[in-house]
Amino acid sequence: MYDYMFRSALVADGSGGKPFRANVAVFGDSIAFIGNEEITRSKEVIDASGCILVPGFIDIHTHTDLEVLRNRDMAARILQGITTDVSGNCGVGVFPNSGEALRSAVMDVLGVWDDWNWTDYPSYRARLMDGGIGINEAFLVSHTALRLEALGGNAGREATDAEIEAMCASLDKLLDEGAWGFSTGLYYAPCVFASRKELLSLFSVVRRHSAICAVHHRCEGNDVISSLDEVISLARETGARLEISHLKAIGKANQKKVPQLLSMIEKAREEGVDVKFDQYPYSYGSTSLFSLLPPDILSLSRFEQRIALSLDNEREEIRKEILNPDGWDSIYEMVGPDDITAMYLEDHPDLSGKTLSEIGKIRGCDPLDALFDILSEETGLAVMTDVTESEENLHLIMKHPLASFGTDSLYSSPVPHPRSYHSTVEYLFAAVKGGLLPLESAVRRMTGENADRMGFKDRGYIREGYKADIVLLDPEKLGTDGKGNRGFRMVMVNGVPSLSDDRVLGARAGRVL
């Protein structure tokens, strides 16, 4: 007898093929039957007529490394049908654990967690499974953690040959232990200080494991063309599989470069480079407010940063670097203070939700001086949003056949970007209701495509023998509601109902893959 039977569902199976009508049965943690025969041998029969049955959504780019400890039920993910996260992106991760330096380096992206009682990947994985988790998690090895382990507290510099060798040995071990690949964020300190030799060495280790390299490349703005060329050349030279994280061009002056970016990726694939990219469905992003500072300042500790920002002569030099950047993305210079919002300031709650221009007016000073004042005073979390690209280019990238779905979700602050809660609904609305993609293609990019890209052998599809990560959608009700979403009849993780009629059930059926 089956455990569950979805009767008369319209199935979009993750392959990109046309949806078909079928009964789908689940036994244990797997899909046991797909067909049109009338079967009643099931403990529970769910009338799925009028609904769409799809594989659980796979988020190929997110940051839930600590959120999965803070909120083990993972309601924010279940409520949008996400059943598998790929975390450790942008070079930001939690293992190997080098202590306070790593905690400080990842705080603005991953948030705060007091009890870092793991040292390596196996002990972190064991910590997650002790108590259970609401969804499946797959992890990448983060460049920041490797650099801090090998270089110590002084990671704001190029690594020596011996340090590169140590990073490669650590990466090799972590991939042997079950991590799914490597990620770097060449925009962020300390990854920004990596030499080409270091990156080639790390990419080569990943290639030997047939794993994936996920890269937030060095510049997404004025130098986006040369920056993309840099990472493609690393993949070409090493043979590593390359995933370009959240592809975009930042700044009004750079929107014309998007077609060239897409052409570069197409040409590289024609030449045999295994490169694809992911995208979240919003034209504005979110990251640390501190990331507006130049790389040489970001390489300092938070205490040293505050000292530098409190000194007039240091401020003047920092101002010059921000307004005239050389080889790095100055989001302030590209986007401007009107389109940068301090979404959450832990020590300045009265200024949260205001743009830098508005904060400057409140404080009676230039927006850049206001930014320096805030960051010199801030001892807690400081998270921003910034308008990065045009809606036209957002849709151009989304329609591209090499694109797949990610959320870039952050749960570090109490006031997160809406992508952390609504990305799947927004993606389906933009793709399907906006006429950009047929339903089956949108579902493919959110499920089977990401499973194939990561190498998940038994997830991402509605197929017999595959794990029962399943989402039952009511298309007539699909929408957003506060921090939640509507239209999710059921979400199942490894054969266990985790949501019913938009209500999270608190099941912790997830696994560390």
Read off the pLDDT of residues 372-414 as tens digits, 9 standing for 90 and up: 999 988 888 888 888 889 999 999 999 999 999 999 999 988 8
- Domain shared by 402 and 448, yes or no: yes
Q: Decide which of 324, 356, 385 is a domain's last residue.
A: 385
In this prediction, residue 299 carries a pLDDT of: 81
Domain co-membership, 307 together with 395: no
Which of 401, 431, 454 finishes a domain? Answer: 454
Domain assignment present for residue 147? The answer is yes
d(CA 151, CA 133): 33
Question: Which stretches in the chain have pLDDT values below 50?
Answer: none
The range of the structural domain enclosing residue 297 comes to: 288-385
- Of the candidates 20, 86, 29, 3, the one whose C-alpha atom is nearest the C-alpha of residue 54 is 20
Q: How is residue 452 written in tokens?
A: 């194939």
Give the pLDDT confidence score for residue 38 in this predicted structure: 78
313 Cβ neighbours under 8 A, 6+ residues apart: none
Structural domain contains residue 472? no
Same domain, 400 and 260: yes
Q: Same domain, yes or no, for 301 and 414?
A: no
Q: Which of 328, 360, 385 is the last residue of a domain?
A: 385
**What domain count does the chain have?**
2
Closest residue by Cα to residue 172 from 194, 248, 164? 164
Helices (H) and strands (E) in the chain, counts: 19, 24
Q: Which phi and psi angles does 157 have, rounded to 5°?
A: -160, 175
Does 426 lie in the same domain as 362?
no
Count the residues in the chain. Answer: 513
Say how far apart CA 80 and CA 486 lie, in whole Å: 9
| Beta-sheet pairing, 212-216 with 241-244 | parallel
Give the model confidence (pLDDT) of 78-90 as tens digits. 999 999 999 999 9
User: What pairing do the DSSP bridges indicate for beta strands 382-387 and 82-87?
Assistant: unpaired
Q: What is the pLDDT of residue 286?
A: 85
Q: Is 319 inside any structural domain?
A: yes
In-domain check, residue 204: no
Q: In whole angstroms, what is the distance from residue 91 CA to residue 80 CA?
A: 25
Average pLDDT value over all residues in the chain: 94
- In a domain, residue 440? The reply is yes
CA distance linking residue 339 with residue 387, whole number of Å: 6
368, part of any domain? yes
pTM for the full model?
0.93
> Would the CA dihedral through 71, 91, 149, 175 be positive or negative?
positive
Instruction: Spell out the residues 6+ positions from residue 442 whose beta carbon is closer than 8 angstroms to its own.
Output: 427, 428, 431, 432
Co-location of 330 and 356 in the same domain:
yes
Where would I find the beta strands (DSSP E) of 281-397?
284-288, 340-345, 354-355, 382-387
439 and 422 within one domain: yes
Q: Provide the 8-state DSSP code for 247.
A: -
